[in-house]
A = this chain, B = another copy of it.
Amino acid sequence: VISIRPVLGLPEIGEGDDLAELIAERGELEDGDVLVVAQKAVSKAEGRLVRLADVEPSERARELAGQEDARRHEVILRESARIVRSRPPLVISETRHGFVCASAGVDSSNAPERETVVLLPLDPDASAARLRERLRELTGAEVGVIVSDSFGRAWRQGTTDVAIGAAGVRPLLDLKGTRDRVGYELHATVIAIADELAGAAELVLGKTDGVPAAVIRGVDARGEGTASELVMPAERDLFR
């Protein structure tokens, strides 16, 4: 049996906050738990914010923005390694991390003040590793940490949360070599557990209620992987 519990009572997160400490005080963490933290809380603690008043939009940003605020699209362009699809004001791009997502992960909802946008962490795997290390220091518990974000999907409606950073978890479970009941090798089955954990946690994260973290107990997902392993390598990608 798996349980998923929201970490309640966290204050609004600001730059420089010790996010691990705030969670440690409320999370009742135990060895083997997986802590899922929403990207926005991590980014805010790391000061990954841009004030739109400081941004001068380029011509390209104005084209992509359509009727919307071109300064936000300028930030999206700066966060993008390449634009995958666009239909103004919608932009799907590949970030420097290799993630393909809307607006290069740049988001204005839940920003600490109006006219400010929140960027993805520079290195979400490193963010997860720091949180994990600090939580061990504060609580003694060996937990896995996932930094999650809501991504849209090709061909399907709606977003699901996925892992953009991970530490102390096995992001992919490879069933290669295991056999099913009649002896077939399940040769093509690699399960993206870290994404399923992130999506499961989203079910208790309030998008509007300020609940940016959840604790999952009962899943054996221990390992030493990173979320960067979840990015499809270019040579295997049929959709580049």
- Residues of A near any B CB (own CB < 8 A): 1-6, 12, 85, 87, 90, 92, 94, 99-100, 102, 108-114, 150, 153-162, 171-173, 175, 178-186, 188-193, 195-197, 199-200, 202-204, 207-208, 210, 219, 229-232, 237-239
**CB proximity of A160 to chain B, nearest CB, Å:** 5
Copies in the assembly, this chain: 2
* Contact A190–B156 (Cβ < 8 Å): no
Q: Collect the chain B residues with CB atoms within 8 Å of residue A219's CB.
A: 203
Q: Are A238 and B114 in contact (CB under 8 A)?
A: no
Decide if B229 touches A157 in the complex (CB within 8 Å).
Answer: yes
Q: Which of B5, B182, B232 contacts A114 (CB 8 A)?
A: B182
Asked if B158 and A195 make an inter-chain contact with CB atoms under 8 angstroms apart, the answer reads yes
A200 touches B207 (CB 8 A): no
- In the assembled complex, which residues on chain B have CB atoms less than 8 Å from the CB atom of A171? 158
Are B157 and A172 within 8 A (Cβ)? yes
Residue of B nearest to A175 (CB): B207
Would A230 and B157 be within 8 Å (CB), given that A1-B5, A182-B114, A184-B109 are in contact? yes
Shortest beta-carbon contacts, A-B, top 10:
A158-B192, A200-B200, A196-B199, A154-B239, A100-B155, A85-B238, A2-B4, A154-B154, A199-B199, A110-B180
A192: B residues at CB distance < 8 A: 153, 156-160
Cβ of A66 to closest chain B Cβ, rounded Å: 14
| Contact between A153 and B150, CB atoms less than 8 A apart | no
B182 touches A110 (CB 8 A): yes
A71 CA / B147 CA spacing, docked (Å):
43
Inter-chain contact B1/A160, CB cutoff 8 Å: no
Q: What's the Cα separation between A203 and B201 when bound, in Å?
A: 12
Residues of B within 8 A of A208 (CB): 175, 178-181, 186
- With a CB–CB cut-off of 8 A, which chain B residues contact A232? 154-157
